[in-house]
Structure 1
Amino acid sequence: MLLQKIHHAAIICSDYAGSKAFYCDILGLPVLDENYRPERDSWKLDLGLPDGGQIELFSFPDVPKRASRPEACGLRHLAFAVADLDACVCTLTGAEVDVEPIRIDPFTGARFTFFADPDGLPLELYEVLGK
């Protein structure tokens, strides 16, 4: 088996309109496709990333809360590579998104920070220079 890359990450949200606005308007992800599935009372929104990867945003009625803190077993967070961490932090704080202080990865020397989506899903911005 030869895995090539991550094709998509699927996120289930509690407030479809609010999460759609967060991922599209604040994070700037373009809508690739949007479908309502009446048999599941569920929206599925496909959002594009510049490298061809995707975020699938789902809504379902009465979803249980996800354990994020303390950190739970399973997927820890979703990280996005960025070229200018300071500019991204300014965009987020300008949209009144709480952003943790910027830290330095002790192994790579790269700068990174964390913030959360409207449901508290941990998201990371990881600065990748010279790419």
Structure 2
Amino acid sequence: MLKSVHHIAIITSDYTRSKDFYTRILGLEIINEVYRKERDSYKLDLALNGNYIIELFSFPHPPARVSRPEACGLRHLAFAVEDVEQAVESLESQGVKCEPVRIDPITDKKFTFFEDPDGLPLELYEAF
């Protein structure tokens, strides 16, 4: 039945700021960008290593979503990296604050969290 995750949709409070964050800072590739006049909304399709993964949306006055402490719903979005410390260094050099690196007690893999411009929790997970 299910084959894979097709994409993750994220609604932003500041489209320009989030577009810059996901493309320039995180390095996602723009596949397509459209403005939908009838909805006063942008839709930006983003890829990672050629794989379509995120739809970034703007909508006028989206309501705030509770994220912490551990609100019900989507908890976070995790990105696999080869070297967590190197990824943290890259993010922090661009002004992105990261939590201290921790070790997953079950897998013994390194991980940390940071946030997108709207406070959505994002994770770096040393998967390789």
TM-score (norm: length of structure 2): 0.97
2:75 maps to which residue? 76
What RMSD over aligned residues (CA atoms) do the two structures have, in Å?
0.9
1:56 maps to which residue? 55
- In the alignment of these two chains, the number of paired residues is 128
**Over 6 Å off, 4+ runs:** none
Match of 1:89, SS state, is helix
Q: Which runs of 5+ in 2 are unaligned?
A: none
Q: Does residue 103 in structure 1 map to residue 108 in structure 2? A: no
Identity score, percent: 62
Q: Does residue 113 in structure 1 map to residue 119 in structure 2? A: no
Q: Which runs of 5+ in 1 are unaligned?
A: none
2:11 maps to which residue? 12
Separation in 2 of the partners of 1:80 and 1:106? 19
5 Å-filtered alignment, 1:4-43, equals 4-43=3-42
Separation in 2 of the partners of 1:51 and 1:43? 21
Separation in 2 of the partners of 1:86 and 1:50? 21
